Structure 1
Amino acid sequence: MLRGVVEMMFDQRDQERIRIFNDELRSEQVVQLRITADPRSTQFVAFAEDFTALAPRVHFAREVSTEVGPPALFLDKAWCYQALAASAELDPFLFLLQLLDGSAVHPLQDLRRQLGSVTIPGVLQVFIAPHCPFCPQVVKQVVVLPLACPSLHVTVIDGTLFPEMSEETKVRSAPTVILDGEFRWAGQIRLEELVDTLISRDASQLDQQALVGMLKEGNATQLAQMMLKRQQIFPAYVPLLAHEEWSVRLGAMVTLEEIADQALVVAQQAVGPMRELLDSAPESIRGDVIYLLGRLGDVGSTERLLTLLAKETDEELRGILEEALEALGCRGQQR
């Protein structure tokens, strides 16, 4: 329900822009609103209610989570807003919705030609702040990239609303653009430079966030092929075998099994870090690690697995240990 004009998140000028935007939409649009236990969720709910009251052709589908993570808005699969698009930041938000709707166009031909060969996923974070003079233009430059390269994901973050994110990434000014947690640009950016970096970066240096995104989208085979092509297990990969989300762990296991089927020696590069997981991973995850050590033929883990079997009382985990030891040629052995 429309709240009083004085209480609305949008001023009179913004309200008029949103109404005009709504009239120009070709079709109804859906934005996913993630509501969490974070108290800032109330601000996102207010934003959604006010926006829909002014633009009824935009629907906010609520997803309520008990997690304490930050609230967010998701536009299609490639865009996330951890920011409230009002005042100067309203224009880029409306622009993105118009691009998705087809009611606005952008000359993407050159970008598509340049980024057409990019298969490596990329995570772009754009840190903004209210009243930042350059932020709207930078957001507009960056949000078009996934339209030219679907493997890219963009998150717009208000560093003043989420100061903990700025602190975690050591962002000191706005706008700041971060690619894969490694490359960064502060202030106004040259899009050509960002595109060149996207093309030339090393896939083996992808961070966990990028790999998690691949696995959540069902691209375990693509990740396996990327590591096989480079004959290397990426540094950020092995910890995903102990990820808190089951879907990510399953994708990571499928990836490693696929690599093992095609090049066992490459898959065995993961053995050392996996042995460390035996001691650090929660008990609920340890069985997966034990299974994979057997699957990879890690005879160096035999003594360790025999020791675990001698002490283990859980029947399910004992079964996994026995199967792994059998795969390692220790059939029937037990301390």
Structure 2
Amino acid sequence: MNKRFAFIAAAAATLLFVTVPASAPASADPSSLSEVKKELKDKGNDLEKITEKYNGAKADLKATEKKISKIKKDLPKLEKEAGKAKDLLGDIAYESYTSGNHLTATGSALADSPEEALKRISVLGAINAAQAADVADEIGAVKDLKEKRKSLEELKDDQKHTKSDISKKRGKIQAEVDHLQDLRDQYGIGSGSGGTAPPPSGHAKAVVAYAENQIGEPYSYGAAGPGSWDCSGLTMMSWRQAGVSLSHQASAQRNETASVSRSELAPGDLVFYYGDIHHVALYVGEGKVVHAPQEGENVQVANMDDMPINSYGRPS
């Protein structure tokens, strides 16, 4: 009896060892595959939203730095002119003192506040209205420029923090997308390149041709080529071939383009998606678009209505 029990137990253990898989199944269970695809699409969409915000924050910071750079360039010249104006006030104060107009408070006022000194000298008639206006303009221009520079420096700091915060959020979502991408690869879901776009005509030829040449290249957040793209980077560079400058952000491109209706769409027009406009594609005709979809996918031709359309725009 004991021998028979031992034999059955050994046989059962052998069967269990052979039939239980040690890793993920070779072919995905349909429900599991569906969940992976849905979650990857949702996370990819989240990543694209944050990427478009990052592109906008980067553009804002660049614009602020450009303004600060201009002020730094202009300030020395204005300071030099203001210095001459202060010297003029000092000379007038001295001449007034030596000629008998005792401006006893002018010296200290000149050091502490040139504007106050100017008032005192003007009141006493040491300079005429035109001279006073010129001096005031020189001193006021420097003061205004310094105040503007201070405000811009504060704005720059805020924008840097915003960009940094967005970058951290993007990194977190990217890690989740990378994990889902591993599952995508495990289950053999292709990244795709879509079909073939219909031939364009007219002025849009160079724009559409450029976008088509990128088909099959990977999506990469914040990228505008060569070799990888995000959605607005692709449309920006495609239209650059026609000499049109667009921002590297979908919502900004919407503001930079003229609205057209669906019935008016022509190859080269832009199709904007979602309520917050965080995705954009290039219309190529016959209900098709070329776009950089999301992380883990390639630039491809797709049906225009595969995503919820917000509006349409025509660059010029």
* Higher fraction of strand: 1
User: TM-score, structure 1 length as denominator?
Assistant: 0.20
By relative contact order (CA 8 Å, sep 6+), the higher-ranking structure is 2
Mark the structure with the bigger radius of gyration.
2
